[in-house]
Amino acid sequence: MKLAFEMNAWGGVVGTPGAVTDIGSGFYVTPGDVTVGLDAAAAAGFAGFELFDGNLLPFEDDMQTLRAAAADRGLTPVGVYSGGHFIYRDAHADELARFTRSIALASSLGARHFVLGGGAIRHTGRQEADYEIMASLLDEVARRAEDAGLIPSYHPHLGSIAESPDQIDALFAASSIGLCADVAHIAGGGGDAVAVIQRYADRLVNVHLKDLDAEAGGFMPLGEGDLPMSAIIRAVVDAGYDDWITVELDGYAGDASAAAKRSFEFLSSEGLVS
């Protein structure tokens, strides 16, 4: 397995200005200098990186600058993460225009994976029909990503339409997209990460690893939380997965760079580092 790190550990996540009134301009962004995260990921031993689509906007006309910065550190661009509302049919054209731009950015970077998250929750709660509405856009975005040479996947996420096991099942019954199994979000939503990986083994195309403090609800470095991480890794291997694994640690209160090193050391102890 090859190991990557998600750049949102160094700065968190915000949205681009104007997105409240202009759906087509809404991108995820990690504030600050992306090279800080690249330096830390490389120093920890990781070989690749993932970042938000909004962090590619400054390089839209000069992606070679970012590619060179990564190459200088021995890092491969593994994934680009994007997200949207998905459930408002009237907004699909605007969202699709933004996703098309994100796909072009990811392709220009040379990324392998295009990860999609989100799915809004109405103020009246999740509606059964929303899963079908979301799936229609999700599958079209996935098709466009594949046409651009990317591997698309959906990432179940806390606070989204697909949080609990039943909700994940509802979306994946409606959509044909592959699964990005973020084990901490699956567990935080009340699921068993091992069981979800086993259930969707034939659709597992991407993996995000981070640990979880179940009582506090916070994310932790690998091996320092409550998740059965060894069993999760076995489930990933048993599913036949043989692609990049991305380690993530958003919202962690400790030193992100030191935590990245500890997560890498944990995966080394699990035999995932050659």
Report the CATH number that the domain containing residue 23 is assigned in CATH. Answer: 3.20.20.150
User: What are the CA-CA distances from residue 14 to residues 27, 29, 145 (Å)?
Assistant: 9, 5, 24
Provide the whole-model pTM: 0.97
Q: Categorize the per-residue pLDDT at 270 as very low, low, confident or very high, splitting at 50, 70 and 90.
A: very high
The verdict on residue 274 lying in a domain is no
Range of the domain at 103: 3-269
- H or E element at residue 98: helix 92-109
Q: Write down the residue that tokens 């661009």 correspond to.
A: 77
The per-residue pLDDT for 166 is 98
CA 220 to chain CA mean position, Å? 16
User: Cα separation of 54 and 68, whole Å?
Assistant: 19
Nearest to 6, CA basis, from 57, 65, 81, 58? 81
The verdict on residue 230 lying in a domain is yes
Q: What is the DSSP pairing of strand 245-247 with strand 204-209?
A: parallel
The per-residue pLDDT for 258 is 98
Q: Categorize the per-residue pLDDT at 191 as very low, low, confident or very high, splitting at 50, 70 and 90.
A: very high
Q: Categorize the per-residue pLDDT at 21 as very low, low, confident or very high, splitting at 50, 70 and 90.
A: confident
Mean pLDDT of 87-116: 98
Query: Token pair of 90, please?
Result: 């009237």
- Looking at every residue in the chain, the average pLDDT score rounds to 96
How much of the chain exceeds pLDDT 90, in percent?
94
Residue 271: which residues within 8 A CB-CB, separation 6 or more? none
Could you list the beta-strand ranges (E) of 53-160.
Answer: 76-84, 113-118, 151-154
Q: Is 245 helix (H, G, I), strand (E, B) or coil?
A: strand
User: What are the CA-CA distances from residue 175 to residues 133, 181, 257 (Å)?
Assistant: 10, 16, 37
Strand partners, 14: 29
Residue 274 has pLDDT above 80, yes or no: no
Residue 125: which residues within 8 A CB-CB, separation 6 or more? none
What amino acid is encoded at 244 in this protein? W
The per-residue pLDDT for 199 is 98
The per-residue pLDDT for 143 is 98
CA 205 to chain CA mean position, Å? 12
**Residues 200-212: tens digit of each pLDDT:** 999 999 999 999 9
The verdict on residue 65 lying in a domain is yes
Q: Categorize the per-residue pLDDT at 19 as very low, low, confident or very high, splitting at 50, 70 and 90.
A: confident
Domain count across the chain: 1
The per-residue pLDDT for 20 is 82
